[in-house]
Structure 1
Amino acid sequence: MESNYVDLDEETLFIVSQTFKALGDPTRIRILHLLAEKECAVGEIVEALALGQSNVSHQLRFLKNLRLVKSRRVGTAMYYSPEDEHVMELLEKTIQHAKHD
């Protein structure tokens, strides 16, 4: 029986591992879960999740570098929203799995 298996290239492996690393942090999960509900400014995230502003900014930078969130400027405020619906679907399915009895 001949196998048609093709191994993953290094770039794909790196992106996948970084995505799971992002989803492996409780703070980033909370931020993504909030952003799945609505676009938020940094201050809104800080208030909604009771986190420090520097922590939120650091996590958003990490998520933005992985292209998991995107931002847009309105005046002096930056608003964040999900950029990758595939990852958001994965997060939602994982949350549903965790809540499943």
Structure 2
Amino acid sequence: MTTRNLSLRHNPAPSDELFGQAADILKLLGEPTRLRLLWLLSDKEHTVGELVEATGAPRTVVSQHLAKLRLGNLVSSRRNGRNIIYHISDGHLKRMVAEAVNRADHMVSGEPLHD
């Protein structure tokens, strides 16, 4: 199995549009607070208040990042009474976030890289 097909059930044809979309996703992942939010949302859905508490970031900052992630179609939200609950329903994105964090762990801890 090649690395191109590890998490894919399809084999997309390379195109400028495909790589442009992939680059846009990576740009959204390239900000530490947004990556932390996605990491938290990979486990379960959260309210804005829960995300504020978990990250320690100000509510306005968390809300702004969630808005960008929502515009990028990386998170979805639903209303439950007065709360807005955010979640990720995309397995590809969950795996991408986990792999980015796991790779960083190797770099920080000195753990040897592996396939």
TM-score, with normalisation over the residues of structure 1?
0.85
Partner of 1:53: 59
Structure 2 unmatched runs, 5+: 1-12
Shift in Å at residue 9 of structure 1? 3.1
Structure 1 unmatched runs, 5+: 1-5
Aligned residue among 38, 59, 68 for 1:32: 38
Partner of 1:83: 89
Shift in Å at residue 84 of structure 1? 2.1
Within 1, Cα distance between the matches of 2:105 and 2:98? 11
Partner of 1:9: 16
How many residue pairs were aligned? 95
Secondary structure in 1 matching 2:35: helix
Root-mean-square deviation (Å): 1.4
Within 2, Cα distance between the matches of 1:23 and 1:7? 21
Shift in Å at residue 76 of structure 1? 1.3
Within 2, Cα distance between the matches of 1:68 and 1:76? 23
